[in-house]
Amino acid sequence: MINVFPAAERHSVDLGWLRSRPSFSFGQYYDPNRTGFGVLRVCNDDFVDPGRGFGAHPHSDMEIVSIVLNGKIRHEDNLGNSVVSSFGEVQRMSAGSGVIHTEFNASEDEELRLLQLWFMPKERGVTPSYEASRYDTDKLNNALLPVVSDNASEQVAWIGQNMTIYLSKLEQGKQLPYETAEGRKLYLYVIEGRLNVLGQALSEGDTAQIEQVGALELEAAESVFFMLIDLP
């Protein structure tokens, strides 16, 4: 089963300094039919003006992932971390029993674009932790590259949930097979380009929620950059 959510039908937020496309209810935007998918609670496509961002605020019992698509993000927290990340880098925070942090566009002249993802944790009340990781952007080409997973490695950030986030850049006409285990869900986000999956055509900004499908083919209708999340 696949449910496609076209970009044109998605809610949008414009605060002047922040333009955001939340896939699920967030802040003042509340749709009881769009509160998450499996353990995925938040998927915001954020565009942040230079020098602007989110001031000090808390989080708890949430696995928070920031994937930088363009520009630079600066994260600072009460654990002592202060990190600037750009494209090819991922920030992961396990909020656990509580963390205070800020996120700002670290550039004075370049817009920041990031995907901000929140997941319910496997375990509540854990000791908070933070990690910034870097992946090889060349490995995105015509492959599904894991960038965040509970099965972590040097270029794959760890996360406190039984899940994996993949990124991929697929050339037009190329296909990638993917097989899901029973009971798992897949969440697709087309960052750029067009993607065909399970007989559906997805364009830039479209998302898809896939369940009860064993194997599928991801095919680039044109050159495409997308995110695939395999989650419970």
Applying the rule CB under 8 A, the residues between 13 and 72 that interact with other proteins are: 25-30, 41-42, 53, 55-62
The answer to the question of residue 214 lying near other proteins (CB under 8 A) is no
Judged by beta carbon, residue 77 or residue 230, the one nearer other proteins is 77
Q: Which of 12, 31, 87, 98 binds other proteins (CB under 8 A)?
A: 98
The answer to the question of residue 104 lying near other proteins (CB under 8 A) is yes
Applying the rule CB under 8 A, the residues between 122 and 141 that interact with other proteins are: 124-125
Return the biggest CA–CA distance within the chain. 48
Applying the rule CB under 8 A, the residues between 74 and 93 that interact with other proteins are: 74, 76, 78, 82
Judged by beta carbon, residue 84 or residue 221, the one nearer other proteins is 84
Q: Which residues are near other proteins by CB under 8 A? A: 25-30, 41-42, 53, 55-62, 74, 76, 78, 82, 97-100, 102, 104, 118, 124-125
